[in-house]
Amino acid sequence: MQRFAEFLFRYREHITAALLAIVSLALMSYGNVTQLGGFRALIIGGLGMVQQAFAWIPNPIALEKENRALRQINLDLQQEVMLLRRAGVENAHLRRMLTLKNESRVPLLPASVVGKTVFRTRQFLTLDRGSRDGVTIGMTVMTDAGLVGSVIATSAHYALVQTLFNRDVRVSARLEPTRQEGIILWDGFEHLLLQNIPKTEQVRVGDRVLTSGLSTRYVPEIPIGRVTDVINDPTSMFYRIIVEPAVEFGRLEQVFVILSTPPQEQLMLERALQEFIERRIAGR
């Protein structure tokens, strides 16, 4: 016993380090610690207030670039409006013919980006809208250019948005021309990756990538970006597709929160299916 105590004392640094490393790994595997939600909301509130206090400082270079980009977007939108008007008339006619249920427009809440936070390599935005404005966790955030990310935490007056440039983000996406479904994720640098597109599909540089309707997390048909490179990996059945994001994350000032969360009935059904599959796997 004494020898054991001597051993412990002699190697206390290494033993403590090993034990704490095990504790850290256990915490990591435990995942989402919901008990911290209230504390984190407090932090977000504080973060938002401090960042808003400094948000008035203008950045003339960013403003000039934003003006130029907005003019270009305006031009593109005018052309799209013309096409959409024609398509709208045609669509209404076809819907009447097919007696399809009309999709309601999603309500948008404009919000200002009052802070950009970079924790190591994870990017977050702080918005000046919170739970009092109806913002809840899981809501989609976008600009006129495209998808920004989703709300991951809220306080009364602020919300924290996880952008697409984040390891933990997976977006169900589709290629606009072929409607082929894939998964969008961050490549770790300045672009996004579109995965799960089989080589039997025709993919071209410049093709638009949109959010798909298969995910309950993001509202469908929001532009994500454009294909900039299609890599034909001979060891895989799928293309490696590089996508340039539609949104310029470095210059974000105004965004819209889509005040819509997935239908609870659909979520419950999907959760029940997932639990059923997990039970079947566990029982095997």
Partner 1 sequence: MNRDYGIYVVVALLVILIETFASNLLAIGGITPDLLLVVIVSFALQKGQLPGVLFGFASGLVFDIVSTDVLGSNALVKLIAGYCAGFFHREGASLQSSIGSPRFIGVLLGCALVHNAVYSFLYTRPAEIPFVAFYLKNGIAAALYTTALALLPFFYASRQRGEDY
- The site for partner 1 (CB under 8 A) is made up of 12-13, 16-17, 20-21, 23-28, 30-31, 33, 36, 39-40, 43, 46-47, 50-51, 115-124, 152-153, 160, 167-168, 185-189, 193, 195
* C-beta closer to partner 1: residue 219 or 243: 243
**Phi (first) and psi of residue 104, to 5 degrees:** -80, 150
211: left (phi over 0), alpha (psi -120 to 50) or beta: beta
- Name the minimum Å distance from CB 67 to partner 1: 22
Strand runs (DSSP E) across the chain, as ranges? 108-119, 122-127, 140-142, 147-154, 159-163, 171-175, 181-186, 192-195, 208-211, 223-231, 240-245, 254-258
Question: Nearer to partner 1 by C-beta: 165 or 218?
Answer: 165
| Shortest Å, Cβ 158 to partner 1 | 13
Q: Which residues of 246-261 are buried (b: 16+ CB within 10 A; e: fewer)?
A: bbebeebeebbbbbbb
Nearer to partner 1 (CB atom), residue 13 or residue 103: 13
Minimum Å gap between C-beta 183 and partner 1 is 9
Least distance between partner 1 and beta carbon 88 (Å): 38
How far apart CA 113 and CA 159 sit, in angstroms, is 10
The smaller minimum CB distance to partner 1, of residues 13 and 265, is found at 13
